[in-house]
Amino acid sequence: MQISDTEENYIKAIFALQMQEQGEVSTNRLSGHLLNRAASVTDMLKRLSEKKLIHYEKYKGVSLSAKGYRLAVNIVRKHRLWEVFLKEKLHFKWDEVHDIAEQLEHIQSEELVSRLDKYLGYPKFDPHGDPIPDKDGLMQKNQAIALARVDRKGNYRIARVTDHSRPFLNYITELGLKIGDLVRVEEVNAYDASCKLKTADGQTIFLSQKAGTNILVEQRR
């Protein structure tokens, strides 16, 4: 069956929103996410339903079918593998890779994906710390929590960012933080959830709650 880039983007959007919170995804939420009008979304939902990629009932919201889920995971897999390629092989910065991967994720070739995966050494995470599904759609669950929610001082590893926007990525890059860095959390303010970190090279960094929410960390023993 033929699936267009546009259809793939809808499927990916439904997947992303379903990850964000359980249950059916509403027309309006998709409309907001894709920057299309609700009427256009309804239109497309009918077509995706026709193709058995989603479960759709009028006024009841939408969820991925098994087939739609497999498709979504494969697109995410391609997107993240290409991001690794762009970062590790072509030396793009981590704030530059997303937009290009947004195009590359739609290239159709099983063989290409599988060779790219091998070429990159079967990476488990992309440049933002997001897990990369393997060829069977399985991905590492990382148990990272937001810095702003850390409740015990101590040593942590920066595992993932949840905001992929340029301004955010540039900001934390300028602070000298990146995925994999070890930091000591010295304080998470009980009132406003801002926090104070010490980096491996001795620098002290202050982060707002807003920034802290988008940086996920794993505890080090």
Partner DNA sequence: AAAAATATTTAGACTAACCTAAATCAAGGC
Partner DNA sequence: GCCTTGATTTAGGTTAGTCTAAATATTTTT
**Residues near DNA (CB under 7 A):** 4-7, 26-29, 31, 35-47, 56, 58-59, 61
Which option in Mn ion, DNA, a copy of itself, none does residue 93 bind, with CB closer than 5 to 8 A by kind?
none
**Contacting Mn ion (CB under 5 A), which of 7, 24, 102, 181?**
102
Residue 145 has phi, psi (to 5 degrees) of -120, 155
- Closer residue to a copy of itself in complex, CB, 91/152: 91
Cα dist. 35→16, 99, 104, 123 in Å? 15, 16, 21, 32
Q: Which tokens go with 192?
A: 């406003």
- Closer residue to DNA in complex, CB, 18/155: 18
Question: How far apart (Å, rounded) are the C-alpha atoms in residues 129 and 178?
Answer: 10
Question: How far apart (Å, rounded) are the C-alpha atoms in residues 142 and 37?
Answer: 35
Q: Whole-number minimum distance, CB 213 to Mn ion, in Å?
A: 18
Q: Whole-number minimum distance, CB 90 to a copy of itself, in Å?
A: 4
Q: Whole-number minimum distance, CB 128 to a copy of itself, in Å?
A: 19
100 lines the binding site for a copy of itself (CB under 8 A) = yes
> Could you tell me how far CA 203 lies from the centroid of its own chain?
28
93 lines the binding site for a copy of itself (CB under 8 A) = no
Tally of CB atoms within 10 A around 12: 22
- Closer residue to DNA in complex, CB, 17/169: 17
Residues 6+ apart with CB under 8 A from 46: 56
Residues 6+ apart with CB under 8 A from 103: none
Residues in binding contact with a copy of itself, number by CB under 8 A: 18
Question: How far apart (Å, rounded) are the C-alpha atoms in residues 11 and 29?
Answer: 13
The residue range among 7-15, 18-26, 110-118, 175-183 that interacts with Mn ion, by the rule CB under 5 A, is 7-15
Q: Whole-number minimum distance, CB 91 to a copy of itself, in Å?
A: 7
Q: Is the CB of residue 158 less than 8 Å from the CB of residue 206?
A: no
> 């060829």: which residue's tokens?
135
Which option in Mn ion, a copy of itself, DNA, none does residue 191 bind, with CB closer than 5 to 8 A by kind?
none
Binding site for Mn ion (CB under 5 A): 9, 98, 102
What residue ranges bind a copy of itself (CB under 8 A)?
86, 89-92, 96, 99-100, 103-104, 107-109, 111-112, 115-116, 119
